[in-house]
Amino acid sequence: MAYRRYIFIGLMSMLFITSCSIKNKLPKGTYLYNGAKVKVEKTPDNKSKEKPIRKSLEKIASPKKNKMIFGYAYKVAIWYAVGEPKKQKGFRYWLRNRLGEAPVLSPTVNLEANTANMQASLENIGFFKSSVGSSKKIKGYKMTALYTAKVPRPYNVDSIKWVLDSSELSTAILKIKNKNAFVKTAQQFDIENIKAERNRVDIALKRRGYYYFSPDYIKSYVDTTVGKHQLNIFYTIKKDIPLNARFPQTINSITLFPNYTLINPPPDTSKHGLAIYDSIYIRDTINNFTPKALVRPLTYRPGSLYNLNKHNQTLNRYINMGVFKFVKSRYQPSSDSVEPRSMDVYYYLTPVKKKTVSAEVGTFTKSNSFTGAQVNLNWKNRNLWKGAELLNIKTYGAFEVSSNDSLNVNNNWRVGAEVSLSIPRFITPFKIRESSYFPPFTKFTVGYEWLRRQLLYTKNFFRVQYDLNWKEGTNKEHTLSPISITYNNATAFSDEYLKQVNQFPVLQYANRPEIIVGSFYNFTFNSRNPKAKNIFYLNANVDVAGNLMGLINKPDTAFSKKLIGAYFAQYGKIDMDFRYTRKLATNTYLANRINIGAGIPYGNSAYLPFSRQFIIGGSNGLRGFQPRQLGPGRVVTTAEQQVAYPQIGGDYKLEMQSELRFPIISKLRGALFVDAGNIWTRNSLLYGDDGKLTAKFLNDLAVDGGFGLRLDISILIIRLDLGIPLRKPWLPRGSEWVIKDIDFGSSTWRSNNLIFNIGIGYPF
């Protein structure tokens, strides 16, 4: 215990010495600014809560004090310790300006300006006749600004009235619904609500054709003579607004320039030489797009009233087509009319490069314990048939090795190719409702992969897929695959593998020829505002296969029927990934996740195909357990299973995670986490009875905890997590919890229990 006392004394001595160094470095006659403290004195009839008022006033006070830990301005100490660099670059300059911080000195504090701003802020939220006083408090080498705010009872809104004439504009304003009004009766007065209400009315008018209207054309008056701390709000329209702002605008003409460049812009006001399609003018001098493809994203036509929603929808649809680099629009009074009621619209569309070739070289870590490198070569044609179709041809080669003892002699080699065609419209015999803001996409994919597992076998994979993708809004997305076909077949078995199969017959199930003919549906939802206090995310999937095959060729037992030489899979599968993140403070969040799934193999299948099974563990799952090392259930997989099975998975999954994310310094973040979960099988065929889901499945849960670091470099987040198993479900009943066995001083314990995970981005 003595050494701890010496460490504490040393830290306190260091703190005292560095504090003295800050004091001695300050310019003569100045003090280090220690921030603002606000005292709120309410009148007896003021029932408002004191804390929100105080917090809002403290935010107004300027400047902001230096960052401190326990009152110690550590960044200022670094700034002084490094000293003035000779050059405005280099390591010393970086060290002083990135890790250090210039001191905020007392002369920079303007008490009079702060008190005026605080008083204005109080009146802006209804605390009329408030007063704010100020003083200074000096202690040691620090100065604290003290403010005392005397706050009376706030004023509430008694009535809201529009003072209007009988004009067309006034009639349109009166038709605007007030259900979502920002200013309401009995509400405390807030000037920001008045500004927001002006903007709301402006947007509502723009949806009714009033393109030239502006929120600045609305005047508001406040009458505080009502008494009893009540006030009336009056709105009116200024008398001197422009003539065209008084009338809704009708679209006279729409002109598209699909090959627009700033280098040689076209004469956009001239209609000479323009093609017309579906009442739209098009100047496509190089015939780069079909007129139908260009006109399809437009959500309105000539003769329509201007509508802000339609305008935004059209811009968004053009941008999301994937063939235009820049999209902008221009509205101007119609050249064909002297009436202030019609406009001409021009869209300037700058296309991206049509054909591109790209190559990627990278390394990866997979959830099945393999790491390796891969080379990809991509060729893209972004406008194949002049209808904004995207043709993507991808080829790749890769090798994989494993650090897992049971897999380290079984390296993998992969070569593959994939051709996909994405078309920005629905191609389907049935009707799907389109979003007005996003174009739908139909995608056709054909792929092939050759896989050689050293010392074991060769596998061939074929894939054909037909997808429909559409967005319901900015935060809701759907993907429906009516037809998804996957075929795989293993050949060239090694003698060693055949010996293993003869010794362990269950391994034969890993490489039977298999065909999956099915459909799947995916739905994704996320909160619109990623910076909100409560953030939600949902990813749900439904996957079915073999229904039609089963009707045509009904199997008697599992693996009894084939289609083109392969056993066809039959199953139904559903899973859900739900996340809830709560913002606790600036850059501090409590993130939670539950991932639950169930697959029901039936008919010709005894278990879910390996490619469809649920897996667990690894950097994005239970971080205290390696991939392939956990489950199913209470099973400890054998070395033969580790090698022969494509992955260690199950028919059911339950995974729960909770993580506290907090800032450490600058771009470095920290996290404390706990994970729990497992996977299970429907029957005992692959792993025995210990892998099956039972009514006591909670006794099979694995639990881990740990600490993580995240480096946020804007374009990506580099993550390092250290996970420690806390509950090992394969241990004898009653001894699964291993918290008591934690021993950081033991090298054997560290080697067997400390799991390091490196990843890109957050785990969930």
293-338: pLDDT as tens digits: 999 999 999 999 999 999 999 999 999 999 999 999 999 998 776 7
Residue pLDDT, tens place only, 468-504: 999 988 899 999 999 999 999 999 888 888 888 888 8
DSSP 564: T
637 close to 650: Cβ distance less than 8 angstroms: no
Higher-confidence residue: 606 or 551? Answer: 606
Cβ burial 555-592 (10 Å sphere, 16+ → b, else e):
beebeebbbeeebbbbbbbebebebbbeeeeeeebebe
What kind of fold does domain 156-246 have according to CATH? Answer: Ubiquitin-like (UB roll) (3.10.20)
pLDDT digits (tens, 9 = 90+) for 186-243: 999 999 999 999 999 999 999 999 999 999 999 999 999 988 999 999 999 999 999 9
Q: Which of 30-34, 269-273, 384-388, 495-499 has the lowest mean pLDDT?
A: 269-273
User: What pLDDT digit, counting tens, does each position of 228-249 carry?
Assistant: 999 999 999 999 999 999 999 9
C-alpha to C-alpha distance for 617 and 628, rounded to whole angstroms: 7
pLDDT at 138 over 60: yes
Q: Which long-range contacts (CB under 8 A, 24 or more apart) does 310-313 make?
A: 310/436, 312/437, 313/436, 313/437
Token readout for 29 is 């006659």
Give me the pLDDT at residue 14, please: 46
Q: Give long-range contacts, CB 8 A cutoff, 24+ apart: 110-119.
A: 110/62, 111/135, 111/136, 111/145, 114/36, 114/60, 114/61, 114/62, 114/145, 114/147, 115/147, 117/60, 118/38, 118/57, 118/60, 118/61, 118/147, 118/149
Question: Is the distance from CB of 349 to CB of 608 less than 8 angstroms?
Answer: no
Q: Which residues contact 24 (CB under 8 A, 6 or more apart)?
A: none
pLDDT given at position 12: 44
pLDDT of residue 13: 46
Distance of alpha carbon 614 from alpha carbon 303, whole angstroms: 55
Q: Mean pLDDT, to the nearest integer, of 72-101?
A: 87
Cα-based angle 653, 657, 658 (whole degrees, multiple of 5): 165
Whole-number Å distance between alpha carbons of 322 and 392: 13
Q: What is the pLDDT of residue 364?
A: 63
> Could you say which DSSP state residue 320 is in?
T
Hey, what are 400's tokens? Answer: 């994989």
Of how many residues is the chain composed?
Answer: 764
User: What 3-state DSSP class applies to 717?
Assistant: strand
Q: How confident is the model at residue 8 (pLDDT cuts 50, 70, 90)?
A: very low
Is the separation of the CB atoms in 398 and 374 below 8 Å?
yes
User: Contact, 152 vs 43, CB < 8 A?
Assistant: yes
Question: Residue 6: its pLDDT value, please?
Answer: 44
Whether 156-246 and 35-63+104-153 are alike in CATH topology: the answer is yes
Mean pLDDT of the chain: 90
Stretch 623-652: mean pLDDT, rounded?
89
Q: Where does 35-63+104-153 sit in CATH, by number?
A: 3.10.20.310
Quick check: 147 and 129 in contact, CB under 8 A?
Answer: no
Q: What is the pTM for the complete model shown?
A: 0.79
Asked if residues 710 and 757 have their Cβ atoms less than 8 Å apart, the reply is: no
- Dump strand ranges (E) for 403-513: 412-423, 441-453, 457-473, 476-491
CATH number listed for the domain at residues 250-351 = 3.10.20.310
| 451/458 Cα distance (integer angstroms) | 6
- Render pLDDT for 246-274 as a digit per residue (tens, 0 to 9): 999 999 999 999 998 877 676 666 677 78
Domain spans, the chain:
1-30+66-103, 35-63+104-153, 156-246, 250-351, 435-612, 616-764
Q: How confident is residue 570, by pLDDT bands cut at 50, 70 and 90?
A: very high
Dist. CA 476–CA 525, nearest whole Å? 5
Helix, strand and coil percent figures for the chain, each rounded to 5: 20, 40, 40
pLDDT value, residue 15? 46
- Which residues neighbour 714 within 8 Å (Cβ) at sequence distance 6 or greater? none
pLDDT digits (tens, 9 = 90+) for 449-461: 999 988 788 999 9
d(CA 643, CA 500): 10
From residue 61, give the alpha-carbon distance in Å to each of 58, 146, 254, 513. 5, 10, 51, 72
Q: Are 411 and 373 in contact (CB under 8 A)?
A: no
Q: Which three-class secondary structure string do you get for 625-688?
A: CCCCCCCCCCCCCCHHHHHHCCCCCECEEEEEEEEEEEEEECCEEEEEEEEEEEEEECCCCCCC
